[in-house]
Structure 1
Amino acid sequence: MFVEVLVVGIGFLTGLGILAAAIAGPDNSRQLAPAAATPLAAGSALAFAYALGILIDRAADTALTPVRRRLRNQSFPTSAAYAQARLKLAVTPALSARADYARSRLRVCRGWVLNSILLTVATDLALWRYPVEHRPLLLASATVLGALAVVGFYLSWHAITATGYRKLAIQTAPATTQVVPAQPSAPTPHTP
């Protein structure tokens, strides 16, 4: 879980950095840039990115909880049935490893839904604040690409979540024994 939390946190920290630069403006940003380029700042940023990753992961999970519950209810009638399936999955290492990989991808997509929103807003604000050529084109491009990223990460999260619940339900369903109906006896030949 360390890597995905860090990936989410670095993305959010980048968005905060762009937002801070937009608020500070070009002159202040130029003066602050040397302080940001030190090893101490880099180490602090990495630690802060990890902590932010945890926070953003939880925030994204909370924001998407109603959708996640709806998806879970399609495969599991109750929370108890879901909990029991998770326990069954835990005893099968191969299936458990696949589920962990899917959850890792899910966390990244879930966190990047929020990251994409922040990065889009921050980039748009920075483009308004800084003197740039072709501002309308850049703003439109940043906004469209940001919206596509939000939708793409959301749809990826949705697909991974729905597929994960569906697979879990199938993999942990009780084994059913199929009863083969009795075959009629062959007629006995009639002898005179």
Structure 2
Amino acid sequence: MTNQAQPQPPALAAATAMFVEVLVVGIGALTAAVLLLIALLGPAATAKLAPIAGSSTTAGAGLAAAYALGILIDRAADTALTPHRRRLRTHFFPTAAAYAQARLHLGDFPDLAAKADYTRSRMRICRGWLFNTMALTLTADLSMLRYSFEHRPLILGATTALGTATAFGFYRAWRALTVTGYRKLAEQTANSTPSAPVPPPQHGPATP
């Protein structure tokens, strides 16, 4: 009787969550890119290209482009916010080695590690959408400048204000999640110890 190897559910769930996470960030980046294209082409050229947007080929290419852009935005956002993130980390871990040791120790607690991964996932989405919101606000304003419609200054002002407030909200959410993650990691690794396995009973020689 042969045992067929089955994919481990935790690993599969983590891979799926990572794919969705990158795609969620990438969709916003792709939308900003489309708005920028509309601003560059203008109303006449956009109207001619509009029928192509509804094809299945365009949808498939858009999904692939969104995933690729999601990776780029995630890396760019991480690079830009890394100095700030490291300053926040020093409030709980004085050195990078202490943080690495805590992360390694957290692996002994699967439940806590899963919760920490979920927190980091939300943090990455917030930092990606911080940059997405700024890009969407800018490209939306640029695209609206190419069209003539009533109350355009008012709508431009409202869009800019809403985009700025939303970007600030994503920054505050990212910062709160980052600080909470470091604080919980410091508390959990300081107060928790993995349960030691119970040794099997030793069957020694019977005493007389």
With the length of structure 2 as denominator, give the TM-score of the two structures: 0.83
Deviations 1:50-72 (A, max 9, x none): 01101100000000011100011
Partner of 1:70: 87
Extract structure 1 runs of 4+ deviating beyond 2 A: none
The one-letter amino acid paired with 1:73 is T
User: Any idea what SS the aligned residue of 1:130 has?
Assistant: coil
Amino acid at match of 1:9: G
Note if 1:7 corresponds to 2:24. Answer: yes
User: What is the distance in 2 between the residues matched to 1:130 and 1:22?
Assistant: 9
Quote how far apart the aligned CAs of 1:158 are: 0.4
> Cα RMSD (Å) of the superposition?
1.2
Match of 1:92 among 103, 109, 134: 109
CA gap 1:175/1:112 in 2 versus in 1, 3 angstroms: closer
Per-residue deviation, 1:151? 0.3
Cα contact 1:22–1:130 (8 A) shared by 2: no
Counterpart among 148, 157, 168 of residue 174 in structure 2: 157
Secondary structure of 2:119's partner?
helix
Q: Which amino acid aligns with 2:54?
A: A
Matched, 1:32 2:32: no
How many Å apart are 1:126 and its aligned residue? 1.1
Partner of 1:141: 158
Q: List gaps (5 residues or longer) in structure 1.
A: 177-192
Code of the residue aligned with 2:167 in structure 1: it is V
Secondary structure of the equivalent of 1:75? coil
* TM-fit CA distance, 1:160: 0.2
Letter in 1 for 2:98: A
1:51 aligns with 2:51: no
Partner of 2:123: 106
Q: Which amino acid aligns with 2:76?
A: A
Q: CA deviation at 1:19?
A: 1.0
Q: Which amino acid aligns with 1:149?
A: T
Structure 2 CA distance, aligned partners of 1:22 and 1:138?
Answer: 16
Q: 1:138 to 1:171 in 2, by over 3 A?
A: same
Q: Secondary structure at the match of 1:74?
A: coil
In structure 2, how many angstroms separate the alpha carbons of the residues matched to 1:130 and 1:36?
A: 20
Change (3 A) 1:160 1:175: closer
CA distance in 1, matches of 2:192, 2:137: 49
User: Shift of the alpha carbon at 1:92?
Assistant: 0.5
* Letter aligned with residue 31 of structure 2: T
Letter in 2 for 1:30: A
Percent identical: 61
Alpha-carbon deviation of 1:114?
A: 0.6
Residue from 126, 136, 140 that aligns with 1:119 = 136
Runs of 5+ unmatched residues, structure 2: 1-17, 194-208
